[in-house]
Amino acid sequence: MTIGVGLERAQYLLEHGDVVAIPTETVYGLAANAFDVDAVLKVFEVKQRPSFDPLIVHIGRKEQVRDVAKDIPPEARALIDRFWPGPLTLVLPKQQRVPDIVTSGLDTVGVRMPAHPLTLELLRSLDFPLAAPSANPFGYVSPTTAQHVADQLGEQVPYILDGGPCSVGVESTIIGFEPVPVLYRAGGIPVEEIEALIGPVSTTTPHSLGEGPGVRSPGMLLSHYAPRKRVIVGDVPDLMRTHQGKRIGVISFSQDHGAAINEVLSPSGDLHEAARGLFAALRRLDSSHVDLILAEVFPEEGLGRAINDRLRRAAGGVA
Mean pLDDT to the nearest integer, 100-108: 94
| Element at 236 (helix H, strand E) | helix 236-242
CATH fold group of domain 2-203: DHBP synthase (3.90.870)
pLDDT tens digits along 201-236: 998 766 544 444 456 777 776 666 788 999 999 999
pLDDT tens track for 62-71? 999 999 999 8
Residue ranges of domains in the chain: 2-203, 231-314
- Alpha helices by DSSP H, listed for 64-217, are 65-68, 74-83, 100-103, 117-125, 146-153, 191-198
Average pLDDT of span 90-108: 95
Q: Which candidate, 121, 133, 122, places its Cα nearest to that of 157?
A: 133
| Whole-prediction pTM | 0.92
Residue 318 has pLDDT above 70, yes or no: no
**What whole-number distance in Å separates Cα of residue 151 and Cα of residue 149?**
5
pLDDT > 80? residue 319: no
**Average pLDDT in the 292-299 region?**
98
Asked whether the beta carbons of 319 and 312 are under 8 A apart, the reply is yes
What CATH number belongs to 231-314?
3.40.50.11030
Mean of the per-residue pLDDT values of the chain: 93
pLDDT tens readout for residues 249-287: 999 999 999 999 999 999 999 999 999 999 999 999 999
